[in-house]
Amino acid sequence: MINKEEPTYDELRRKYTKEEIAESYVFRGSMSTAEKQEADEEFKRLRLEQLKSMSDDQVLQSELMRMKLLIKDYLDQSLFIEEFSFANQLKRYVSVAEKSMIEFSEDIGIHKTKLSRLVNNREKPNEELMYRLEHHSGGMIPATYWFRLFTRMQENAIKNNQEKRISEAKKVKNQLSFSSD
């Protein structure tokens, strides 16, 4: 068992500038219980005031960033999750942007029927749409994210479509074969 002598601000200050300390440490709280209780009450009041005063734009920006980070986490792993299909994320985007389907189809210059087909996964998105979505989000959600959501969904469909695999195999001649020796 090794007991460490924890560094204190005053000790560190002998070696480093304040800026250097701030770039290397956030110290544990050092308030007394009574001080902490008072500070916590004040903090809670200020925090709730700040929450109430958030503008619609601030909420939207934060929600879009949330959507982006969650998509990023999803893309960083290799599984397909239905919630993160292109169609479901497009539906989510429209909801986060607080637009009706008609308003949003007008925003991105496509017919409302096409948008409906896209969010219901009855039509595949094209590259142009992905650029438009990126621009609509003010660059917050890049076109490449939309593309990767789509390709992940496509990959999953190809992996699991046994019916098509069998029917297409029937159209192939001279299949390469390899001995197992």
Partner 1 sequence: MYLKNRLTNQNTECEILELSRGDLQKIKRDVEFGFDWSTEKWNDTYKLFALSDRDKILGLMSLIDRPDEFRIHLNLLEVTKSQQGDKKTLEGIAGCLIAFAASLAIKKGYGGFVSLEPKTQLIEHYQDKYGFRQYGRYLAIEGAFSISLIDKYLNDD
Measured from the CB of residue 3, what is the shortest distance to partner 1 in angstroms?
8
Q: Which helix (H) or strand (E) holds 7?
A: none
Binding residue for partner 1, selected from 59, 81, 157, 158, defined by CB under 8 A: 59
Q: Count Cβ neighbours within 10 Å for each residue of 139-166 and write b for 16 or more, e otherwise.
A: eebbbebbbbbbebbeeeeeeeeeeeee
Q: Which two tokens stand for residue 64?
A: 């879009």
- Using CA atoms, how far apart are residues 61 and 55, in angstroms rounded to an integer? 10
Q: Is 69 near partner 1 (CB under 8 A)?
A: yes
Q: Site size for partner 1, by CB under 8 A?
A: 47
What Rg do the C-alpha atoms of the chain give, in angstroms?
A: 27
Binding residue for partner 1, selected from 26, 79, 166, 172, defined by CB under 8 A: 26
Q: Which two tokens stand for residue 172?
A: 């192939």
Which among 123, 141, 119, 120 has a CA at the least distance from the CA of 132? Answer: 141
Q: Is 101 near partner 1 (CB under 8 A)?
A: no
Measured from the CB of residue 111, what is the shortest distance to partner 1 in angstroms?
30
Q: How many residues in total does the chain contain? A: 181
Binding residue for partner 1, selected from 16, 88, 97, 108, defined by CB under 8 A: 16
Q: Is 58 near partner 1 (CB under 8 A)?
A: yes
Q: Is 127 near partner 1 (CB under 8 A)?
A: no
Measured from the CB of residue 16, what is the shortest distance to partner 1 in angstroms?
5
* Whether 143 contacts 134, CB under 8 Å: yes
Closest to partner 1 by CB, 11 vs 103, is 11
Residues that bind partner 1 (CB under 8 A): 2-7, 9, 13, 15-16, 18-31, 35, 39, 42-44, 46-48, 50-51, 54, 58-59, 61-62, 65-66, 69-70, 73, 142, 144-145
